Amino acid sequence: MENNKSFLWPEGILIALLALGGVFSLAFMMLLRPNASEAQSRQGIDIKDVTANVGTQQRIEKLKAAMLTSWQQEAQTKGLSYALPSRFQGAVIEAAKLTQGEKVIALTFDDGPWPDTTEQVLDILKSNNIKGTFFVVGQNLKNFPEIGKKIVTEGHVIANHTWHHWYHFFNQQAAAYEIDRTTDLIYQITGAKTNLFRPPGGMLHNGLSAYAKGQKYAVIMWSADSTDYKLPPVPKLIDNVIKDSKPGGIVLMHDGGGNRSRTVQALPEIISNFRKQGYRFVTIPELLEMEDADKKLLANKKQ
């Protein structure tokens, strides 16, 4: 009997201890549950925050895309994408050959956009109600996109002057990079599609012009060189432009790539001098359209 009691007693204690352990375990789990719920809650908040941030970023990207599309559409309605007359596609042009005797001249500016001087040139042109043609360097346009936009919004023509403004020889792949990348960026930033190209330094035999002609660009040279890149005295700069200019001519000046303060100083006097001679100012596309119209008129008269 004593042996039976001694055997049964530990079993009861064991059962009691197990039951008590279960109670403590349940209580411990209940204590932990709020922390787990809190962690889940925090995780839920983090997920919501991430989702919200992603959604905001997507909305921003959509807005930027919509603004770019709107800008490009507006640019196109302003005539910034134009069809180059077929006779000039792949041609090298130094001046327009006009048969009607119109005294017109095209002012062109290379190597921008450039801080200060490009905007100073734009202000002078605006105050004189003149539209010019700007041959931009791609990497400069990338660095100063707002100035590039201003060129277009103020009604000027923007054109291609390569990405780096290098002079060495280019194989076809390198030439494509220099020209196509610049044309693409012009369109991305301004909405304007250009088919006008000017080789740096006027070099026609280093691979760039050959590629441009193959892509049906008009390769635009010049008939009057200001030589402003040599930093001549302002009176000499003015004389360089005026003495070599004729009706249908193309004037070369620079708004970027270095110190162009003398160009800015000379420009008002150049404009005044041309106007005293009875000239009016046109863009390169307008000049080419005039020559094309003249030749069509002459051809019709011969029929």
Residues with a catalytic annotation lie at 110, 254
CB atoms within 10 A of CB 70: 11
What pairs with residue 106 in β-bridges? Answer: 250, 282
Beta-sheet pairing, 133-136 with 157-160: parallel
CB of 137 closer than 8 Å to CB of 161: yes
| CA 156, chain centre distance (Å) | 15
The angle that helices 145-153 and 117-127 make with each other, rounded to 10 degrees, is: 10
What pairs with residue 196 in β-bridges? Answer: 218
292 phi and psi, to 5 degrees? -60, -45
CB of 157 closer than 8 Å to CB of 182: no
Q: What is the DSSP letter of 258?
A: S
